[in-house]
Amino acid sequence: RRVHGGLVLSLLPYGVWQWWTPTPHLVPWAYYFKVAFWMNLLYLSFRYLWYLSLPVTNAAANAIIFQSTPAFAYILSIPLLAEKATLLKSVAVILSIVGVSMVSIYTAKEPEEGIQQTSFGYVCVVLSVLLWSVFVVALKRWGQAADTRPVPNTCKFLVAMGTCCLLTTWPVIPLLHFTGVEPFEWRPQLLHKFLLNIGLMTINNFGNTVLVMITSPLFASVGGMLIIPLSTGLDIWVHHFVMPLFGWAGVLLLVGGFLLMNVAEYKEQHPEAEAESAPLHSVN
């Protein structure tokens, strides 16, 4: 099955890029591998729990719970990253979560039948959200600590993640196969789709990591929510899906939350601009 394929594929292009880069390695590779080992366990655990939750939870409810990541990332960023809790950020997170919830609920095209919803499934999806929030915050806290240059740092970090995955995860596949727990099935007719999926995962992993490095876990989490209206827009274009009015209202709230987050980040990074725009008080 697909096991962290994008990270394994990252070994070749990122390794070649690092070999050609003129900048010296200021931090030993041992640091990256140490961080990547634990981060890899976090990533696999969150993915595994989420996959477990899918068959035993309502799709809309699952999406809503999972998209609450910004709230958990916000809370964790305050003690771990010294993130400033501001009114604008709080309102942006609330708007984004409400907006994505409305889109998830009102774009459900048909009721789900035959799904046995269980408490175990919802516990799994909540735990997966917590672990994913810990992952993105830890990425900023310990991943960027090695090298503040976002692109070289991302390349080296993902090479270390891919190597850890290759050495610790893939050996389990033959073990599961020969013990009969989960037989390995190779389907050559699906190879092109498999490679396409791996390529997209590589781009996704690289883009997400760079985004967290140059901004913040909170900003990246809120921005990541935009994939919901984008995928719905693709559904409208390809399948001629008609979005309900409340779905469009959710999109507006989500976009508004993202714009507010941009304003909050700008004010935090440019305090002098806010000071210049403040009204001058006359002195008597």
- Pair of tokens at residue 124: 């799994």
Rounded-to-integer distance, Cα 64 and Cα 53, Å: 13
How confident is the model at residue 135, as a pLDDT?
92
Specify whether the CB–CB gap between 158 and 4 falls below 8 A.
no
What average pLDDT score do residues 274-278 get? 53
Rounded-to-integer distance, Cα 93 and Cα 257, Å: 6
Rounded-to-integer distance, Cα 47 and Cα 53, Å: 10
Q: Answer positive or negative: Cα dihedral of 55, 56, 61, 66.
A: negative
Specify whether the CB–CB gap between 136 and 61 falls below 8 A.
no
How confident is the model at residue 43, as a pLDDT?
87
Specify whether the CB–CB gap between 158 and 201 falls below 8 A.
no
Specify whether the CB–CB gap between 188 and 63 falls below 8 A.
no
Average pLDDT value for the chain: 77
Contacts of 13 (CB under 8 A, 6+ apart): 202
Say whether 125 sits in a helix, a strand or coil.
helix
- Give the residue from 181, 151, 169, 190 showing the smallest Cα distance to 43: 169
In the predicted structure, residue 281 carries a pLDDT above the cut 90: no
Neighbour tally for 225: CB within 10 Å: 23
- The residue type found at 242 is V
- For 251-269, the pLDDT digits (tens) are 888 888 888 888 888 788 7
- The residue type found at 208 is N
How confident is the model at residue 198, as a pLDDT?
76
Specify whether the CB–CB gap between 209 and 144 falls below 8 A.
no
How confident is the model at residue 36, as a pLDDT?
87
Q: What's the predicted TM-score (pTM) here?
A: 0.77
- For 136-168, the pLDDT digits (tens) are 999 888 876 655 677 777 777 878 888 888 888
- For 196-248, the pLDDT digits (tens) are 877 787 787 778 888 888 888 888 888 877 777 777 777 777 777 677 788 78
Q: Answer positive or negative: Cα dihedral of 59, 193, 154, 215.
A: negative
- Pair of tokens at residue 56: 């035993």
- For 26-35, the pLDDT digits (tens) are 677 788 888 8
In the predicted structure, residue 59 carries a pLDDT above the cut 80: no
Between 49 and 164, name the one with better pLDDT: 49
- Give the residue from 135, 134, 126, 125 showing the smallest Cα distance to 7: 135
- For 75-122, the pLDDT digits (tens) are 999 998 888 888 989 998 998 888 878 877 766 655 555 567 788 888
